[in-house]
Structure 1
Amino acid sequence: MNERIFRVLEFNKIVDQLSSHAASSLGKNQALQLKPLTDLDSVLEIQKETDEAAQILRLNLAVPLGGIFDIRASIKRSVIGGMLSTEECLDIGNTIYGGRQVKSFVNKLEEELPILVSLVERIEPLRDLEQHIKSSIDDHGNVMDSASVKLKSIRSSIRTYESRVRDRLDGYTRSKSAMLSDPIVTIRNDRYVLPVKQEYRGSIGGIVHDQSASGATLFMEPKSVVDLNNQLQEAFIKEKHEIERILRELTSHIAAEELFLTENVEVLGKIDFMFARAKLGQSMKASMPKMNDKGIIKMQQGRHPLIPIDDVVANDIEIGEDYNSIVITGPNTGGKTVTLKMVGLCTLMAQSGLQVPALDGCEMAVFENVFADIGDEQSIEQNLSTFSSHMTNIVEIMKNVNYKALVLFDELGAGTDPQEGAALAMSLLDEVIDRGARVIATTHYPELKAYGYNRENVVNASVEFDVESLRPTYRLLLGVPGRSNAFEISKRLGLSESIIDSAKGHIGVDSKSVEKMIASLEKSQRDSEKDYEAAHQTMLETEQLKRDLEKQWKEFEDKRERLYKKAEDKANKALQEAREEAELVIDEIRKMKTNANLKEHEWIEAKKMLEDARPKLSTKRDVDKAEPSNSTKDLKVGDTIKLLTLNQQGSVLEKVGNQEYLVQVGIMKVKVKRKDILFISDKKEFTEKHITTVKGSGFHVKSELDLRGERFEDASLQLEKYIDDVILAGYQKVSIIHGKGTGALRKGVQEMANRHPRIASTRPGVSGEGGSGVTVIELK
């Protein structure tokens, strides 16, 4: 792309705006050198960079890029042996600090920012060099006393000499004030002097260093301070040499870090450039475009980047998919040229990594070349007419047009005979379209209005004009050719109707038909836009209603789940209380031993039946996990089911209707519908499971019980159940592991075992059995 296209489309103004958003000279220089890229992968990468920076700006965060300088020239001078000034060293120290601040800022962000993170990883902190600079030079660029021990000593002697000189000269100002123009001590040629009146030159004596413009005052150094001033000058020379030594040492340190410093500067410049692009996009309310190399442009509510947001009219424009050419017709000052420039300028911006002023989801293409013939470029010096000027540009364009080009023609064929100009315009459009380029052209010629209907890949468009206000609306109407509106405008301006009617009589039938067709198309366009807006609004309301319903349904589900849990907790509590009460009753009956014929294993079986009688409570999730066919499965007599309405388990007694069953739940017989029943297992499965449970109880009981770490209340419940299980399993001897500890658990276990009627004896474990940490129980 040549410089002319940047000037014609005003891309240089975008570059100037971009540079103003840079925080440092590094970013500003990169902005001023910005050029569009022509490789899709490169454009995609630079667009991602801009988008990452835009993400941070959307969080109202500011990257700390202040205090960063372009120190590359200073680094180069340090490498070739030059001595850097204090200001150069200070700029390098500040840039090192700024780089570390940027790195810290990015690393603290929680967003996914792969490009920025990879960039800041390349920044080297260089704390030693920064500390060396900051400990030697203050913020005003002066070498500090602390830079070296020798410098501190020299400056101490300078202050001593200055004090002595001033004290001696102050004596003159007090004792010989009449001989002085002013009773002050001043400096000439770096030496302390007195302003002596001309007539008292001999009375003071000494060296004259200067005189006033009138000659009435001489600036003299009295003989008594010459030696002190000499000593002071020698100290100043020593100070200068020591400062030079310190700066050369700093310069050498800087040169040693050349590679890291150069890398830091390049990274910081790139980051500043990224944020400058993002800030420009933010100021334009722009969005990141989707990029393609297929020549497809889709912009919803696209705006010209250089027209203020409050003044610009946004337009939709598409090209490259259903059609490759747009012919825009309409009156002057209607916005045709602005539309051309908007498409061209937004294309250059997108290929440069800049976001474009359009709605999210816009799509832009990467072109190898963008050509434009826009505006009247006739030259008096070259004696070129408007037509000749346009044709000169067009000839150059036609030499390079191919399928990877975007071509913009403004007033194609203008400046010559209308019939010849229209024919030439159509021929040029045919040639450009045949080469596969994307082309947008504006024209006044009525012949081109029919061009879009007679050619494939071409669509008509126009800029709208409000006849009532006699002003253009600047809205682009795709698919509708423009019309002149000359009669309507003339009538509104007061031209006689007889003249207008006469003019209409001179228009052919075909022209009248075309004008009526265009008017009908414009009306259809407006109606369809209104319908679209209404449909869009309805869709938005429907989506909001859907979101509200989903929210309410979720709240209902959550509430139902909480109620299930609350009911289950309440049932568990009631069952626990009932179990505890039943346990107390059984214990009392056992103690009474009133029934001599009642055997111990019958008590144990009764107790296990009490455990098994506890219903398995379920929540909504149990129902959700049931197989889909559960609600339609035909049930048989004896099948085990769960009655969902009571949340209790039971069995099927008989089928009493099409979808009704008589079921038994506990002692109740209930007639229920099939949808309220959850199938558990059939009669055969239930029997096998029941037999397996009873038959295999002994196989699952260990010969020892570990109660270590348990509280006695919990341990006693476990022990009691364990003894019941081992009695059923037929064990003769078991071990209870309680550990040594304080002995409280051991004592409680032994006391409980001694009270149990089925335990014959207890003893502590011997060596090999666990010692006193184990109690061995012998069963009857």
Structure 2
Amino acid sequence: MKNKSLTTLGYHQILEQLKDYAFSAGAKERIGRMLPLLSELKLRKHINDTSQARGMVETYGTPPLPAMDHMEEYIKKAAAGALLLPEELEELCMFLNSVARLKIYLKKGEAEQISLAFYNQNLESLDDLKEEIRQCIRNGRVDDYASPYLKDIRKQMLLLSEKIGEKAEKALRANKTYLSDAFVVKRNGRYCIPVRKKCRNMVLGSAVDQSSTGATIFVEPASVAGLREELELYQIEEDSEERRILYSLTSLAAQNEEALKEDIRVIEKLDFIFAKGRLSLEMNAVEPEINTEHYIRLKKARHPMLSGETCVPLDFEIGRENRGVIITGPNTGGKTVAIKTVALMSAMACSGLHVPCECAELCMQNEILCDIGDGQNISDNLSTFSAHIKNVLEILKRSQKDSLVILDELGSGTDPAEGMGIAVAILEELRNSGALFLVTTHYPEVKEYADRYPEVVNARMEFDRETLKPLYRLKVGEAGESCALYIAKRLGFPGAMLSAAAREAYGEKSEAVIDSLQLTDTQEKLRREKAPSIQKTEKKKETKIRRFVTGDSVTVLPEGEIGIIVKPADENGQVLVQIKREKKLFSHKRLKLKVAASELYPEDYDFSVIFDTVENRKARHKMGKGFREDLVIKTEE
């Protein structure tokens, strides 16, 4: 419930903002776990840290906090006896340089007796370790001057490399007639000359590689091989000496394991504290005064997620003379923003953060409980009203004297009469719990509830009657006025309809509302405007199709040919007629009955004798005795 309410208020969005001001992963993780504190001693310490951090940032600038992405990993590796690589030791040296700069930064605050600055005493810059690494490691490798022995080895290796190059060049010149190219190449770390394959036996040396075509053999001259083997021995010595130096530095780092861990712990804590100070500066926030007397007072409070240009500052007070505030007013009038601002300020202050306002007195809360927004839970198949009631019941179970309860649109989402009753019952339970509570609603009866008890007060969001715009200002001590009817009047709602609406809404009290609307007999009546009419398509007259039957003898006009009806007229009036054993379609309008089929043929006459082919008639006869796959009856359309 607690985390859900904080998420609803936008508390975790504030934490995400705070993370942007932290450098280390440890500080970001700590921010992610932040919750309002229950210990007054701890809370006052956290708020004081935030104030001092902001003061130091304003005075001395942003602290030079070091990057520590891999420090814990390197320290753990060194302590386990594993070898730290040159680049890892170089990162460790950079970290220690940053620690030294941070100590200088904190010493400035120490001189001003800022208690936060005395964390300087807990930091160790480990100058001996830093200097050893700086002398031995440079540009990601062990430096030549890390030891006299290493310097001598590398000097000998350089001389040998030069000799090997000279020998290779000499062999190149001596065997130029056998070569495919006139330059020395390196293959598998060896100096080689490119010899044509057919001349391989003419050059003394070892074959190391060949070209992709196989036409060239890369040969290490015999004069170079001995020097190369000597160089490899020096390389082994170089590697051994480098590892000795690295193990020595790693061992020195391991000896300082506890000091390095303490540095990381202190820097993560400072990173966390200075992130709060920088966020305070960014929000132009102030240090809240914390009390345990259960009262809240805010002056010109600004919701931290709204820009300063659009946010109207909020003045609000609760807890001394009243414990409950019922806020009414028009939609989009800022009621929800107002109650969320109060709750979010409380959550931020109780977490040790500064709050964006001119002045703030905030009490500690054991819990901040809220029901804001739709809350519809599709997976549980809960309606909006059901989801609200389920959430409110959980809130009522947990609310007590040190709680802050925020309920938005109390009793909405159901039948108005029943919703009003439920809203009043919830308010009564909250009043008896002793909690501070802020409620928004539209029900007039809920507004009247506040008049019964001195500890509950009405408030409204102010509305500009001239511009028809909400002012987003909270006015405590007054219930919200009939803004909907007033807006309707300004937008041209007829007087008779406004009066009818007021009587339906307010019953016996409607006359006072109608008077406040200042309706007159000349109030514009509803004028009907000419509207477009539907253009209907005229129905076509149905053409009477003459009905012929199969077998009718007809005359086809205008030719006067005689035919017999094969199929009667279709929906388009087309009739299939057989004329001299040829079947043709004609419009029914061109046909004239000559002799009806009933006069020409007996009842149940088989017209297939006239219209079917001999093959079809034979097939039909055989099919009558049983189905046969080898027979096909062709049907003429």
Structure with greater helix share of residues: 1
Residue 59 of structure 1 and its aligned partner are, at CA, apart by: 2.1
- Could you say what secondary structure the match of 1:326 adopts? strand
Counterpart code for 2:375? E
2:329–2:483 contact (8 Å) kept in structure 1: no
Counterpart code for 1:400? R
- Could you say what secondary structure the match of 1:414 adopts? coil
Cα shift readout 1:537-594 (whole Å, capped 9, x = no counterpart): xxxxxxxxxxxxxxxxxxxxxxxxxxxxxxxxxxxxxxxxxxxxxxxxxxxxxxxxxx
* Alpha-carbon distance in structure 1 between the residues aligned to 2:36 and 2:199: 78
Q: Which residue of 1 aligns with 2:56?
A: 56
**In 2 relative to 1, CA 228–454 (structure 1 residues): closer, same or farther, beyond 3 Å?**
farther
2:437 aligned with 1:427: no
Q: Which residue of 2 aligns with 1:402?
A: 400
Q: Which residue of 1 aligns with 2:336?
A: 337
2:79 aligned with 1:79: yes
Q: Which residue of 2 aligns with 1:149?
A: 148
* Alpha-carbon distance in structure 2 between the residues aligned to 1:376 and 1:399: 21
1:198–1:216 contact (8 Å) kept in structure 2: yes
1:26–1:69 contact (8 Å) kept in structure 2: no
Residue 49 of structure 1 and its aligned partner are, at CA, apart by: 0.6
* Alpha-carbon distance in structure 2 between the residues aligned to 1:320 and 1:218: 95
* Alpha-carbon distance in structure 1 between the residues aligned to 2:387 and 2:459: 26
- Could you say what secondary structure the match of 2:434 adopts? coil
Q: Which residue of 1 aligns with 2:35?
A: 35
Residue 340 of structure 1 and its aligned partner are, at CA, apart by: 2.3
Counterpart code for 1:93? C
- What's the RMSD between the two structures over aligned residues? 3.0
* Alpha-carbon distance in structure 2 between the residues aligned to 1:178 and 1:18: 75
Q: What is the aligned counterpart of 1:471 among 458, 469, 472?
A: 469
Counterpart code for 1:55? G
Residue 428 of structure 1 and its aligned partner are, at CA, apart by: 1.4
Q: Which residue of 1 aligns with 2:322?
A: 323
Paired residues for 1:526-541 under 5 Å: none
Q: Which residue of 2 aligns with 1:134?
A: 134
Identify the structure with bigger relative contact order (alpha carbons < 8 Å, sequence gap 6+). 2
- Could you say what secondary structure the match of 1:16 adopts? helix
* Alpha-carbon distance in structure 2 between the residues aligned to 1:38 and 1:480: 34
2:171–2:221 contact (8 Å) kept in structure 1: no
Counterpart code for 1:27? A
Q: What is the aligned counterpart of 1:388 among 356, 377, 386?
A: 386
2:343 aligned with 1:313: no
Residue 377 of structure 1 and its aligned partner are, at CA, apart by: 1.9
TM-score, L = length of structure 2 = 0.74
* Alpha-carbon distance in structure 2 between the residues aligned to 1:121 and 1:240: 40
Q: Which residue of 2 aligns with 1:13?
A: 13
1:300–1:315 contact (8 Å) kept in structure 2: yes
* Alpha-carbon distance in structure 2 between the residues aligned to 1:373 and 1:220: 84
Residue 244 of structure 1 and its aligned partner are, at CA, apart by: 2.0
* Alpha-carbon distance in structure 2 between the residues aligned to 1:232 and 1:328: 88
Counterpart code for 1:331? P
- Could you say what secondary structure the match of 2:65 adopts? coil
1:129–1:254 contact (8 Å) kept in structure 2: yes
- Could you say what secondary structure the match of 1:481 adopts? coil
Q: Which residue of 2 aligns with 1:453?
A: 451
* Alpha-carbon distance in structure 2 between the residues aligned to 1:364 and 1:392: 29
Cα shift readout 1:35-79 (whole Å, capped 9, x = no counterpart): 322211101001111111111223253322245556223222222
Q: Which residue of 2 aligns with 1:363?
A: 361
- Identity, % of aligned pairs? 36
Counterpart code for 1:390? H
Unpaired runs of at least 5, structure 1: 520-780
- Could you say what secondary structure the match of 1:277 adopts? helix
2:109–2:117 contact (8 Å) kept in structure 1: no
Cα shift readout 1:486-521 (whole Å, capped 9, x = no counterpart): 2222233343344334433444242554798999xx
Residue 315 of structure 1 and its aligned partner are, at CA, apart by: 0.6
2:330–2:484 contact (8 Å) kept in structure 1: no
2:486–2:517 contact (8 Å) kept in structure 1: no
2:345 aligned with 1:346: yes
* Alpha-carbon distance in structure 2 between the residues aligned to 1:33 and 1:427: 36
- Could you say what secondary structure the match of 1:397 adopts? helix
Counterpart code for 1:329? T
Cα shift readout 1:290-310 (whole Å, capped 9, x = no counterpart): 111222211111111111222
- Could you say what secondary structure the match of 1:407 adopts? strand
1:460–1:479 contact (8 Å) kept in structure 2: yes
Aligned residues: 516
Counterpart code for 1:324? R
1:464–1:474 contact (8 Å) kept in structure 2: yes
Q: Which residue of 2 aligns with 1:243?
A: 242
Residue 17 of structure 1 and its aligned partner are, at CA, apart by: 1.2
Paired residues for 1:435-446 under 5 Å: 435-446=433-444
**In 2 relative to 1, CA 334–230 (structure 1 residues): closer, same or farther, beyond 3 Å?**
farther
Q: Which residue of 2 aligns with 1:289?
A: 288
2:2–2:369 contact (8 Å) kept in structure 1: no
1:208–1:220 contact (8 Å) kept in structure 2: yes
1:69–1:92 contact (8 Å) kept in structure 2: no
Residue 387 of structure 1 and its aligned partner are, at CA, apart by: 0.9
Residue 182 of structure 1 and its aligned partner are, at CA, apart by: 7.1
Cα shift readout 1:591-649 (whole Å, capped 9, x = no counterpart): xxxxxxxxxxxxxxxxxxxxxxxxxxxxxxxxxxxxxxxxxxxxxxxxxxxxxxxxxxx
Cα shift readout 1:729-767 (whole Å, capped 9, x = no counterpart): xxxxxxxxxxxxxxxxxxxxxxxxxxxxxxxxxxxxxxx
TM-score, L = length of structure 1 = 0.61
* Alpha-carbon distance in structure 1 between the residues aligned to 2:454 and 2:196: 101
**In 2 relative to 1, CA 500–243 (structure 1 residues): closer, same or farther, beyond 3 Å?**
same
Q: Which residue of 1 aligns with 2:161?
A: 162
Unpaired runs of at least 5, structure 2: 519-637
Cα shift readout 1:645-664 (whole Å, capped 9, x = no counterpart): xxxxxxxxxxxxxxxxxxxx
Residue 173 of structure 1 and its aligned partner are, at CA, apart by: 6.5
Cα shift readout 1:309-360 (whole Å, capped 9, x = no counterpart): 222221111112221111111222222222222222222211221110011x
2:410 aligned with 1:412: yes
* Alpha-carbon distance in structure 1 between the residues aligned to 2:164 and 2:514: 101
